[in-house]
Amino acid sequence: MPGGLSPSDFTALMPEFVLTGVALLVLLADAFLPRARHGAIAWFSLAGLVLTAAVLVPYAGEHATAARGMVAVDGFGAFFKFLFLLAAALTILMSPRYLQVEGVRPGTYYFLVLCATLGMMFMASGIDLVTIFIGLETMAISFYILVGFIKPNRRSNEAAVKYFLLGTFSLGLLLYGMSILYGLTATTNLRAIATILASGEHHPWLPLAVILLVAGVGFKIAAVPFHMWAPDVYEGAPTPITAFLSVGSKAASFAMLLRIFFEGLPSANGDWGLLFYALAVLTMTVGNIAALTQSNVKRMLAYSSIAHAGYLLIAIVAATRVPQTGVKAALIYLVVYAFMQFGAFGVITLLRRHDVIGEELKDMSGLFQRSPLVGTAMLLFMLSLGGIPPTAGFMGKLWLFSAAIDGGYYWLAVIGVLNSAVSLYYYLRVVVFMWFKGDPTGSELVMSPGMAILLAITIAGTIAIGVYPRPLFDLADISARTLGAGGITATLR
């Protein structure tokens, strides 16, 4: 066989190539454009993301592999790629004014955001351990730099060091698990691994590989007990990057989780299903209880994001018995979560002014009097995160819990519902501060065009999915079907 990529591979990887091209142009623009014109880079990056999404559209109905089986070109991957592009676009929309207030030059900021997105896209489409690993690292290394991007800020430095150390440590665990998997099967292709493991005898080393892989993935999705980096990193990172981390990185890690465990290790689902069950219960409970006592809103949202990873794990556990319903529920919830989480972080970014950090709960005081529109938007996002109808959060949770019930995991659904009830306390506490406390600063909020677009998109998404969820459900349904070589229903039996 001749080496290299064939012309059809180039066609199959076109969205990734387009995004790479845009990222390189952004890097060039940063070097050669006069300092005064740098504001255009953000808009150029946005245009690049929209272009990539447009190129991606025809791939949504595919179900094939490319580059010698290293990459899957399917609806499942396309669904996640659209989500990553949306997350990156929302991040870029809220960035220019934030960077200006923090007093840092954008420099390579937008390039790194695009690189992280590129890594996520390969995590979602990789069906080879090497592809997934490279995608993961492209994303992670970009994030290490982005988290510490505000160099004079000590909190940003500290967050970057913590994220870097725990990120590489988890990579070590993940890679060791992958090396054992390669040792057992003599291949790095996940679908080939699945075939060999299904036909072979019981491997005594397989549980060890599964444990290491679950631990490595657990760090990336910030599941308890692998969550200790998340609150510090989320608090210290620039707010737009916190939002991107909590949505983009989490969604990409869930895509990686689904690829590794459903494509590569379906025959061991008894082992990892049990582990994820325990992780789901722990993650929901610890995340919600820890969030109750936080006074910093970014930190509170970090714990809430940990709790949401726990809810998502319910869908993963349910998918071991009802694959189609479970995976579909996870896909729906990730989209819902993206809208409400970005909305909430958008409001926090809006509160950041030269003299006010705007992250503490008391900075929310009187928000409704200061700006009724922003106050109402924050109310909507908090209700959605808490899962109150008629918001998107309610629809997402409804699907998660009904998937758990379909799979026969009644206790998991009960624990999930109880946890949602607990979470209402800290979401509504924000609302109490906004509506019933006076405003100590009395200063006006400055709405930049990017922020206005961001809030419009997130509000529209949160309401639209809550009121008319049909299109998203149908899309998630079709996309979930294409996971695995023979489709999701053939993957787990």
Partner 1 sequence: MTPITPVHYMVLSAALFIIGVIGVMTRRNIIVILMSIELMLNAVNINLVAFSNLWQNAAGQVFVIFVICVAAAEAAVGLGIILAFYRNKETVNIDEMTLMRW
Q: Is 292 in the site for partner 1 (CB under 8 A)?
A: no
Q: For partner 1, which stretch binds (CB under 8 A), given 3-11, 58-66, 175-183, 240-248?
A: 175-183
Tokens of 373: 């529109």
CB-wise, 54 or 208, nearer to partner 1?
A: 208
> Which whole-number Å values give the CA distances from 223 to 186, 218, 308, in the listed order?
30, 5, 10
Q: For partner 1, which stretch binds (CB under 8 A), given 181-189, 382-390, 409-417, 475-483?
A: 181-189
Q: For partner 1, which stretch binds (CB under 8 A), given 17-25, 166-174, 245-253, 432-440?
A: 166-174
Question: Which of residues 169, 360, 441, 445 is near partner 1 by CB under 8 A?
Answer: 169
Site string (186-205) toward partner 1, x via CB under 8 A: xxx-----------------
Q: Is 289 in the site for partner 1 (CB under 8 A)?
A: no
- Phi then psi for residue 74, to 5 deg, are -145, 175
Q: For partner 1, which stretch binds (CB under 8 A), given 125-133, 271-279, 345-353, 387-395?
A: 125-133
Q: Is 168 in the site for partner 1 (CB under 8 A)?
A: yes
Helix (H) or strand (E) holding 64: strand 63-66
**What are residue 65's DSSP bridge partners?**
72
Tell me the one-letter amino acid at 190: L
Tokens of 362: 């008391």
Least separation in angstroms between CB 3 and partner 1 = 12
Residue tagged 């465990």 (tokens):
261
Q: What share of the chain is helix, strand, coil (3-state, %, to 5)?
A: 80, 5, 20
CB proximity list for 195: less than 8 A, separation 6 or greater: none
> DSSP secondary-structure letter at 439?
P
Question: Which of residues 182, 278, 437, 477 is near partner 1 by CB under 8 A?
Answer: 182
Q: Is 133 in the site for partner 1 (CB under 8 A)?
A: yes
In terms of C-beta distances under 8 Å and separation of at least 24 residues, what long-range contacts does 327-331 make, across chains too?
327/76, 327/258, 327/262, 327/480, 327/483, 327/488, 328/399, 328/403, 328/473, 328/476, 328/477, 328/480, 329/399, 329/400, 329/402, 329/403, 330/254, 330/258, 330/400, 331/79, 331/476, 331/479, 331/480
Least separation in angstroms between CB 144 and partner 1 = 5
Q: What torsion, rounded to 10 degrees, do the Cα atoms 131, 132, 137, 139 define?
A: 110
Question: Which of residues 49, 72, 85, 129 is near partner 1 by CB under 8 A?
Answer: 129
Q: For partner 1, which stretch binds (CB under 8 A), given 114-122, 177-185, 353-361, 451-459?
A: 177-185
Least separation in angstroms between CB 156 and partner 1 = 9
Q: Is 179 in the site for partner 1 (CB under 8 A)?
A: yes
Measured between alpha carbons, how far is 7 from 86 in angstroms, rounded to an integer? 29
Question: Which of residues 151, 362, 408, 471 is near partner 1 by CB under 8 A?
Answer: 151
Question: Which of residues 9, 30, 62, 158 is near partner 1 by CB under 8 A?
Answer: 158
Question: Which of residues 3, 152, 204, 486 is near partner 1 by CB under 8 A?
Answer: 152
Q: Is 125 in the site for partner 1 (CB under 8 A)?
A: no
Q: Is 346 in the site for partner 1 (CB under 8 A)?
A: no
Least separation in angstroms between CB 173 and partner 1 = 8
- Phi then psi for residue 66, to 5 deg, are -140, 175
Measured between alpha carbons, how far is 233 from 432 in angstroms, rounded to an integer? 27
SS3 assignment, position 128: strand
Site string (235-254) toward partner 1, x via CB under 8 A: xx------------------
> Which whole-number Å values give the CA distances from 87 to 83, 99, 458, in the listed order?
6, 18, 11
Q: Is 145 in the site for partner 1 (CB under 8 A)?
A: yes
Question: Which of residues 75, 96, 135, 148 is near partner 1 by CB under 8 A?
Answer: 148
Q: Is 92 in the site for partner 1 (CB under 8 A)?
A: no
Least separation in angstroms between CB 314 and partner 1 = 28
Q: Is 160 in the site for partner 1 (CB under 8 A)?
A: yes
**What are residue 64's DSSP bridge partners?**
73
Contacts of partner 1 in 216-235 (CB under 8 A)? 228, 231-232, 235
Least separation in angstroms between CB 152 and partner 1 = 7
User: Exposed/middle/buried for 207, CB within 10 Å: 0-12, 13-18, 19+?
Assistant: middle
Q: Is 175 in the site for partner 1 (CB under 8 A)?
A: yes
Question: Which of residues 33, 51, 55, 141 is near partner 1 by CB under 8 A?
Answer: 141
Q: For partner 1, which stretch binds (CB under 8 A), given 50-58, 98-106, 172-180, 240-248?
A: 172-180
In terms of C-beta distances under 8 Å and separation of at least 24 residues, what long-range contacts does 157-165 make, across chains too?
157/236, 158/232, 158/236, 159/232, 159/233, 159/235, 159/236, 159/237, 160/236, 160/237, 162/229, 162/232, 162/233, 162/236, 163/229, 163/233, 163/237
Q: Is 103 in the site for partner 1 (CB under 8 A)?
A: no
* Contact set with partner 1 (CB under 8 A): 129-130, 133-134, 137, 141, 144-145, 148, 151-152, 154-155, 157-162, 164-165, 168-169, 171-173, 175-176, 178-180, 182-183, 186-188, 228, 231-232, 235-236
